[in-house]
Structure 1
Amino acid sequence: MKKLLFYVCLPLLAVACEKDPDMSELDADLAVYTDYDSSVDFGTYKTYFLPDSILETGGYKASYWKDENAMKIINAVETQMNERGYTRLTDPEDKDNADIGIQLSYVNETYQVVSGGYFGGWWDYGYWGPWWGGWYYPYPVTYTYDTNTLVMEMVDLTGDSESKNIPVVWYANASGAQYSGIYNLQLLVNAVGQAFKQSEYIKCN
């Protein structure tokens, strides 16, 4: 298991490395953290499904962010994946045929999410297929997410169809001070690029 953490700002700069930065000192930066299952060969994956919305967490019931700003973040993820040789399946009916699924979540309030091991996730049970009951991290990840955090999770959909759980093989979050308008959006888009920059192992053979 390997973990990377950089700060990202305008322009994008990697200026420090520590697991738990003081958010009050980040100013206009976002801290980008990545982790992955080192036993996985990302080159064996060929196709991926990326929904056209971002899950917004924080309330009793999840909501979905679907406007043009959300699409800019989603398109940034798509661009990164396509540049690394993967093919996006866009038809929801085909999501069960994808090798991997990518889930994007935006946290709008402080929230303790996971303490390692199994995690049922924010998304609805059975989202990726009729048999899946949730997903889990095959490595320990413990975080309290603050306001203005983008979470990216890549799940392996190639496993045993009788299994009730799916593993998260790659995980990233970007968090920091929240700003209004296009500036904050650009920070989030830049954070997507930084997360993939820290994850050179994500590449199709």
Structure 2
Amino acid sequence: MRTAQKLLMLFTVVLALAGCTTLRTASDYDKNVDLSGYKTYNFYDKGIARVKLNNLDKRRLIAAVESEMNAKGFTKSDRPDLLVNLVVVAREKTDVYGPGYYGGWGWGWRGGWGNPFWGGGGTYVNQYIEGTIIIDFLDPAKKILFWHGQGSGFNLDSFNKREQRLYTGVKEILAQYPPTVTAAK
């Protein structure tokens, strides 16, 4: 019975971790720049060379950005209106769970009502590398940064649906471009 309880606790922790896959996104932009003038793009080569991902993931990230830029109506060009700069920042993250509360009230293991998951049990530790994907738009003519978007919370150690998560992450970040401007009252 003790083994079943520990397996159920572990399953609960895994479910909790699986629910923490959403990126936290944010963006900022220069309000003095007319964004409607940008129609073509390419990548900032110096920035791409410094992206700290393996070449497979770097190609996936670039393909995800190209897909989203094309979906937004931009055209890739050798003489672009804007340059896309990519940065990936990684840091080690540790999540510690337990001992403590692991579930709700219900029918207990030994019969009767109660909380079978309160207290006891071991401590569960999950260590991984968390990444922040940064996408910057640069104006090569003016030599300025005019839009900055980022998504943090990407688990760089997980290979589970990695390509799909990269595409989803880029889509969530670029969903904030162009920024919605609300009229001041």
Common fold, TM-score beyond 0.5?
yes
Aligned residues: 127
SS, match of residue 108 in structure 1: strand
Q: Which residue of 2 aligns with 1:69?
A: 57
> Is contact 2:149–2:176 with CA below 8 Å preserved after alignment?
no
Structure 1 residue 100 corresponds to structure 2 residue 82:
yes
Q: 1:88-146: CA deviations, max 9, x gaps?
A: 12xxxx4xx32111011111237xxxxxxxxxxxxxxxxxxxxxxxxxxxxxxxxxxx9
1:189 corresponds to 2:164: no
Q: Give, in angstroms, the shift of residue 33 of structure 1.
A: 1.0
Where is the helix percentage greater, Structure 1 or Structure 2?
A: 2
- Is the contact made by 1:45 and 1:99 (CA closer than 8 Å) also made in structure 2? yes
- Bigger radius of gyration: 2
Q: Counterpart of 2:144 in 1: which secondary structure?
A: strand
- Name segments (4+ residues, structure 1) moved above 4 Å: 51-56
Return the alpha-carbon distance in structure 2 between the equivalents of residues 64 and 197 of structure 1.
24
Amino acid of the residue matched to residue 133 of structure 2?
Answer: L
Question: 5 Å matches for 1:47-196?
Answer: 47-50=40-43, 55=48, 62=50, 65=53, 67-89=55-77, 94=78, 97-109=79-91, 147-159=130-142, 166-176=143-153, 178=155, 179-196=157-174
Residue 35 of structure 2 corresponds to 42
Q: Which amino acid aligns with 1:38?
A: K
Q: C-alpha distance in 1, partners of 2:91/2:72? A: 33
TM-score (norm. length: structure 2): 0.56
Q: Distance in 2 between matches of 1:83 and 1:29?
A: 22
How large is the RMSD of aligned CA atoms in angstroms? 3.2
Q: Which runs of 5+ in 2 are unaligned?
A: 1-16, 93-128, 181-185
- Secondary structure of 1:71's partner? helix
**What is the identity, as a one-letter code, of the residue corresponding to 2:135?**
M
Cα distance in 2, alignment partners of residues 51 and 157 from structure 1: 9
- TM-score, structure 1 as length reference: 0.51
Change (3 A) 1:79 1:158: same
- Matched to 1:155, the amino acid is L
Q: Could you say what secondary structure the match of 1:109 adopts? A: strand
Paired residue type of 1:50: F
Which runs of 5 or more residues in structure 1 are unaligned? 1-23, 57-61, 111-145, 160-165
Take 2:160 and 2:130, find their aligned partners in 1: how far apart are those partners? 17
